[in-house]
Amino acid sequence: MVYCDQESYPTSIRRQKKGFGAAVGIHPKKVQFFPQSKFEELGNLLRLNTVVALGEIGLNRCAPESTWKLQEEILIKVLQLSMPIRQVILHMRDAADQHCGEVGARCLQIMRANVAPTQRIHLHCFTGTVEQVVS
Ligand SMILES: [Zn+2]
């Protein structure tokens, strides 16, 4: 289960069947609706032992350009809640006619500056190259 819309954050998350888990985050297309007051709630959910990942979080260039700066600010802020023991589910989507070139490079730059080198990352909505993944 992925909870990345603050309107659907659960009050508790039951243990899942073996091999399954829950993730909580902020979808980049929803950042303009995310109130600052929800960060504490997100942090509390991430501390539940039934939550295995922070996500989805990331950048989406299909959303209106007016939201891109806020997407980056929210991504950087929410990465402060990341923990190497939990995966980050990173959503990176470029404009329709591109393949994670600019957005991939920007995500990589933000990740390098804001998470531990040992952070495990699940790439979601990624259409870039193997070279981008390896770097
Ligand atoms: Zn996604």
- The larger pLDDT score, comparing residue 8 to residue 128, is at 8
% of the chain with per-residue pLDDT over 70: 96
Enumerate residues with CB within 5 Å of ligand 1 (an ion). Answer: 56, 91, 124-125
pLDDT score at 60:
93
Report the DSSP beta bridge partners of residue 22: 51
The whole-angstrom separation of Cα 26 and Cα 74 is: 8
SS (H, E, C) 5-47: CHHHCCCCCCCCCCCCCEEECCCHHHHHHCCCCHHHHHHHHHC
The 10 Å Cβ neighbour count of residue 84 is 12
Ligand 1 centroid to residue 92 C-alpha, Å = 7
Q: Residue 37: pLDDT band by 50, 70, 90 thresholds?
A: confident
User: Which tens digits make up the pLDDT trace of 61-86?
Assistant: 999 999 999 999 999 999 999 988 89
Ligand 1 centroid to residue 29 C-alpha, Å = 9
User: Which tens digits make up the pLDDT trace of 87-127?
Assistant: 999 999 887 666 667 888 899 899 999 999 999 999 988 87
pLDDT score at 51:
92
Ligand 1 centroid to residue 56 C-alpha, Å = 6
Ligand 1 centroid to residue 91 C-alpha, Å = 5
pLDDT for 39 beyond 70:
yes
Instruction: Summarize the confidence of residues 31-52 as an average pLDDT.
Output: 91
Question: Under CATH, which number does the domain 2-134 receive?
Answer: 3.20.20.140
The whole-angstrom separation of Cα 41 and Cα 38 is: 5
